[in-house]
Amino acid sequence: MPDPLAEVRHELATANRILANEGVLDAFGHISMRHPHDPERYLIARYGAAELMQADDILEMTLDSKPAQPTNARLYSELVIHGCIYQARPDVHSVCHHHSVSVLPYCISGVELVPVMHLGAVLGGRVPFWDSRDEFGDTPLLVTTPEQGRSHARALANHWMVLLRRHGATMAGRSLRECVFRSIYACRNAELQSRALGLGHLTTLSQGEAELCGSHSLTPRTLGRAWEYWTYRLRKMEAASGGFDAQRPLPDTLPKTQAGKSSARRPKAPAKRAAGRVRKAARAKPR
């Protein structure tokens, strides 16, 4: 039976790998999207690094962050970040949580993150902070309980980004591609803001500039252009690396013969090959 969500799963898996390729997600972090036909559910990958995700890794969750169908797949521990935002914000259709090194200095220092270039306007009007310590005391700095998830969602409020003190950031978008765009350019903006602060002087966009730039950057035309570029960059990287094949043995797990030796023949060293050719030629000479 055809999967009615096949195209959606493919796009969400692609979004995972784009964000990894662009340096937003690494071994940790995750992105989700609201179910296109059922607003009471959302889609997110199984537990694992974003760079490895394929369409069949995408799972369907309820807004209580429980699997919609039974699964043996391991799940992210911070699913409530996504479910609680979808519950609180009907206008949000995609959520990304990450720990980008460009944004973390602001999470650590408490310095306000502000738009400093036109594409950085996708930060939104203001980027609030959320500190788990305020309500929950000492924790492992993970958002894992419904109470923590709801508190985090309240801090996001009607904004598009929230910084988690000493932890990372959460982005929201009205679509998957918008969330990817906001996530990437929020990190670019943070990097540029840090560089400008290092030079000793910082100018920011005015409120009017931020509103106009943000509206222009989030049009379907601009989002489509960026998505095409990031997809092309991803394909180039995956083609150059041969892609990810979970079935392919790693170098230290080559198949073994019954004798316990590698079944693959080792290539002879150049010197040994040359010596072999000399001996063969000598044997071939008439006596």
Q: What tokens appear for 47 in the block? A: 């537990």
Backbone angles phi, psi at 41, to 5 degrees: -140, 165
Encoded tokens for 156: 């996001």
Distance between CA atoms of residues 22 and 17, nearest Å: 9
Q: Is 53 helix (H, G, I), strand (E, B) or coil?
A: coil
d(CA 81, CA 25): 16
8-state DSSP, 3: -
Closest C-alpha among 56, 109, 96 to residue 187: 96
Structure tokens, 235 = 């394909």
Helix (H, G, I), strand (E, B) or coil at 235: helix
Instruction: Please name every residue paired with 96 in a beta bridge, in sequence order, or none if there are none.
Output: 31, 171
> Catalytic residues, which ones?
78
